[in-house]
Amino acid sequence: MRILVTGTAGFIGYHVVLRLLESGADVVGVDNINDYYDVRLKLDRLAQTGIEQDRIREGELVRSSRYPDYQFIKLDIKERNELARLFEKGKFERVCHLAAQAGVRYSLENPHVYVDSNLVGFVNLIDLCRIHGIGHLIYASSSSVYGLNPEMPFSILSETDHPVSLYGATKKCNELIAHSYSHLFGLPTTGLRFFTVYGPWGRPDMAAFVFTKAILENRPIDIYNYGDMERDFTYIDDIVEGVVLVIEHPILHKPIKTPFRVYNIGHGSPVRLLDFVESVEKVLGRKAVKRMMAMQAGDVRATWADTSDLLSDFGYRPMTPVQEGVGRFIHWYLDYYRP
């Protein structure tokens, strides 16, 4: 199977590419390698897949030195003409779209970046999927679409009309656009609402990374809403398992008029933020200095994924307990940064 994966210098994209290559897929990766966070981390992820920095050229395909069935191209998905040329050459059967401008808080100050990547880029991609008859588009949505919905756990049938961040709003827009393309053109699309992903090679703005770095540097960590926070922390390997299962199945087994689906993909068991901090403390053997803060704009008190649909359709069962996942992350962090 020939698959285009976007966002392959990113956290989830990097892990998905490795898993697809191990399964024998023919993969082309795309990323613009922006500087939202440490570019060195992104380049080192690429290097792990055999795409070394000194061989990367804007708009040119580079073949991996480690995986003969992997090619990478530095390209911004908001540039429609460049993306169109890639589709014309690529002959892709599936597209797994994981590229996006991430971060809830960053969207408060940089809205246009989210419009360019998460809206313009998404429309460019899905329209090219339509033009080239792609067999299945899988794309990253987010638990942020649930916004202020107080019902727990979040079901795919839960109300999603009141996001509290521009980031969440762009992800909801992606789902609506996907539905219209599935309905009008018969394009099979599947959206995956990710819930607080963590693990090795993770993003520096995510909780596990922030807490670990601060504790090791003897700096206080900010605990928002005075500790009254819960998150459905989901280990990266469990996320990748779900993504790959969905890639391989473009439609449900029963006949449907509009080949459109959305799933929650999370661990399915929320963890108190203070308990997560305690897990980090146990692995590091150090106590955190906690600075209690009010709730931040654009944030929500709790997330909790109802993954019953993903279980019934694909047998998806996340297996990694938080303490084990935190331990794996910190082992990677200490090896990578050697503090």
How does pLDDT run across 300-319, given as a tens digit for each residue?
A: 888 999 999 999 999 999 99
Residue 255 predicted with pLDDT over 70: no
- Tokens representing 245 are 């299962």
**pLDDT digits 0-9 by tens, 263-279:** 999 999 999 999 999 99
Q: State the catalytic residues.
A: 167
Residue 256 predicted with pLDDT over 70: no
- Tokens representing 108 are 């408060």
Residue 253 predicted with pLDDT over 50: no
| Per-residue pLDDT at 300 | 86
Range scoring the smallest mean pLDDT among 24-28, 135-139, 158-162, 252-256: 252-256
272 pairs with which residues across the strands?
Answer: 230
Average confidence (pLDDT) over 124-132: 98
Average confidence (pLDDT) over 224-243: 96
Residue 167 predicted with pLDDT over 90: yes
In order of 149, 198, 215, the CA distances from 221 in angstroms are 28, 18, 8
Q: What distance in Å separates the CA atoms of residue 248 and residue 88, rounded to the nearest whole number? A: 23
Which distant-in-sequence residues (6+ apart) come within 8 Å of 79 by Cβ?
A: 124
Average confidence (pLDDT) over 80-84: 98
- With H, G, I as helix, E, B as strand and everything else as coil, classify residue 241: helix
Q: Report residue 296's pLDDT band, with 50, 70 and 90 as the boundaries.
A: confident
- Considering the entire predicted model, what is its pTM? 0.95
For the chain, the average pLDDT equals: 95
**pLDDT digits 0-9 by tens, 20-63:** 999 999 999 999 999 999 999 999 999 999 999 999 999 999 99
Phi then psi for residue 279, to 5 deg, are -60, -40
The string over 124-137, giving b where at least 16 C-beta atoms fall within 10 Å of a residue's C-beta and e elsewhere, is: bbbbbbbeeebebb
| Per-residue pLDDT at 44 | 98
**pLDDT digits 0-9 by tens, 170-209:** 999 999 999 999 999 999 999 999 999 999 999 999 999 9
CATH of 2-195+235-268+303-319, one of 3.40.50.720, 3.20.190.10, 3.40.630.30, 3.40.640.10: 3.40.50.720
